[in-house]
Amino acid sequence: MSKIIHHQIIIVGGGTAGITVAAQLTRDWFRRLDVAVIEPSDTHYYQPLWTMVGAGLAKKTVTERREGSVIPRGVTWLRDAVAEFFPDQYMLRTRDGKTITYDWLVVGAGIQINWDKVPGLKESVGKGGVCSNYSYATVDSTWEAIRSFRAGNAVFTNPSGAVKCGGAPQKIMYLADDRFREAGVRDKTKITFASALPHIFAVEPYRATLEEVAARKEIDCRFRHELVEVRPDSKEAVFKNIDTQEQLTLPYDLLHVTPPMGPLKFIASSPLIHGEPAHLCGPRPILSPLI
């Protein structure tokens, strides 16, 4: 049996969320908290900047760092991955067979991109005008599509369910609109925002402002429309109206896709999702002075 490792606070995930939490918890030396981050990757990507990369305002290489360089001082980096959670025992087991116990658990592993949930998307993204900011491998294709756009239909999508950064599907659209105006092609362009959501944004004050922005920029908003197929040969995007189940086929010259996303398998199948809320509570409020 492997030796049991204990840390006061375990953070699962060394992305922007996990690193930010770790930095906050160890910001002041007198806190003396024992914090460990579990992250298998050698590379850290600052994904919030990918919108700027897709708009041609930054290089994607600046979003890449060695994982070890972003781990806050005083935080232990466990270069491993979680295989199983045992919240009733305040314990988890890693891919490499380690058993780790904790007093408090922070899960910030992010969500995964499900390219293959939309037929035609996985094989077409990154070429032929189909682009996405949601991958390091494809983000450059967004700027290429925007930069080379001369006229036609520019379609931007937003799926149902949770996505990384709820505003990102729109931000790239507004940046593209600005670029089209600078290039003198906006009057030859139709911009469509096809979103599976019922409104342009879930938070009411932002919603009202963004509706004004979309109207001012003459963006055609199609709500409750989920992307269900990409046809790269005919350059068509097929959407399903969630309420009526009717299909809408839109031709595109540029198609920026925010792909469907979902929980990572090791989280989706864990007691953290299917267990009682009490499973998420620690045995003592060691974090209360930090709030």
Domains of the chain: 4-110+264-290 (3.50.50.60), 113-262 (3.50.50.60)
Q: What is the pLDDT of residue 199?
A: 96
Query: Is 16:48 a contact under the CB 8 Å cutoff?
Result: yes
Q: What is the pLDDT of residues 204-222, one digit of tens each?
A: 889 999 999 999 999 999 9
Q: What is the pLDDT of residue 164?
A: 94
Helices 168-182 & 139-147 angle (0-180, nearest 10): 30
pTM of the model: 0.91
Q: What is the pLDDT of residue 287?
A: 40
Cα–Cα distances in angstroms (integers) from residue 261 to residues 125, 192, 218, 264, in the given order:
15, 21, 29, 9
Cα(66)–Cα(123) distance, integer angstroms: 29
b/e burial code for range 228-246 (CB count within 10 A of at least 16 → b): bebebeebbbbbbeeeeee
Cα–Cα distances in angstroms (integers) from residue 223 to residues 114, 158, 159, 264, in the given order:
21, 9, 10, 27
What integer best gives the mean pLDDT of the chain?
A: 92
Reference 37, options 125, 100, 114, 83; nearest CA is 100
Query: Is 109:12 a contact under the CB 8 Å cutoff?
Result: yes
Q: What is the pLDDT of residues 10-35, one digit of tens each?
A: 999 999 999 999 999 998 865 789 99
pLDDT at residue 89 tops 60: yes
Name every residue whose Cβ is closer than 8 Å to that of residue 95 and which is 6 or more positions away in sequence: 40, 80, 81, 82, 83
Task: Report the SS3 class of residue 179.
Answer: helix
Q: How far is Cα of residue 190 from the mean position of the Cα atoms in its chain?
A: 27
Cα–Cα distances in angstroms (integers) from residue 153 to residues 55, 189, 197, 240, in the given order:
18, 6, 21, 19
CA Rg, the chain, in Å? 22
